[in-house]
Amino acid sequence: MLNIRRPRRNRKSEAVRAMVEETKVTTDDLIFPLFLIDGKNKKVEVASMPGIFRLSSDLMLKEVEECLRLGIRAFDIFPAVEDQFKDVHATKSYDSNFFYLKTLKEIKQRFPEACIITDVAMDPYSSDGHDGLVKDGKIVNDETLEILGKMALAQAETGIDILGPSDMMDGRVGYLRQVLDQNGFTEVSIMSYTAKYASGFYNPFRDALDSAPKFGDKKTYQMNPANRTEALIEAELDTAEGADFLMVKPALAYLDIIRLLKDNSNLPIAAYNVSGEYSMIKAAAQKGWLDGERVMKESLLSIKRAGADVILTYFAKEFAALNKT
């Protein structure tokens, strides 16, 4: 039998493979999450995230500058808050004199071309370690929104570009949009953590911020990993409430959810390639079990191929440096 169709003809050389390549990842697709700590000239490696550091404001400015030269233009900045500054109501989250807000303002003044994204949730500042206000052992929804509103407004006042509500409280996108608009911040975007699952892949991140819950878990507000249709409900609500981006978190174990939202929404879809996904690859590469560079690229490609327009990843700087050479 004559074999007329031979797909291998389009794989026969690097040049041909490049011509027919369907999916490409570039630095324009990437957001680099960064961890900020108080003080000066401090650089502390996260033990469970090889190559990722908590940086004081002076070194954070240098990191942003270096990344901009590599072609990374978007940064999601998270604060690591010492226990002495944490309380039940997360009051430091909207204190304009606190190091996080002061540094955000400085970054935007120094690098106006950088896109700065912030995290809106109580857990970095909460003595309970939860994303919402705790009352009688329960996470209360509507009272949490008031705190998130103060936090979002304080962050917007620093000049940042995009807010990232990661708390998973019901109605928070609409509430934050109203607070922003009423205070003249109509151009500040909202990248909603739309489908944020109660995942086991977050532990290294919680190590980085020392933000693990002091009791229980987050299953009453983060989504059940078994659920798919629920992501569509969350996407519908966030869109109606004024979100500008919809996010899926984690990424690699939820590629089907990325595709589901991409197929059912006209908004840009973001995916968070989370700390545990990063650390697994790094640990295996250090053991010599995987080609770390190759698997990093393959992982990012899979997230983009699944439908993500934007990828938050701790590999961003490494990827950019490899593609610069």
Active-site residue, selected from the candidate residues 249, 262, 282, 304: 249
Q: Give pairs for 101-104: CB < 8 Å, separation 24+.
A: 101/154, 101/155, 101/157, 101/158, 102/57, 103/36, 103/57, 103/60, 103/77, 104/77, 104/155, 104/158, 104/159, 104/160
Q: Tell me if residue 196 is catalytic.
A: yes
Amino acid identity at 294? R
Known binding residue 234? Answer is: yes
Active-site residue, selected from the candidate residues 92, 196, 218, 262: 196
Nearest to 310 by CA among 138, 189, 180, 148: 189
Q: Tell me if residue 249 is catalytic.
A: yes
Which one-letter DSSP state was computed for residue 287? T
Nearest to 150 by CA among 215, 98, 111, 106: 98
Q: Which residues are CB-neighbours of 182 under 8 A, at least 6 positions away?
A: none
| Nearest-angstrom CA–CA distance, 318 and 149 | 35
Tell me the binding residues: 234
Binding residues for Mg(2+): 234
Active site residues: 196, 249
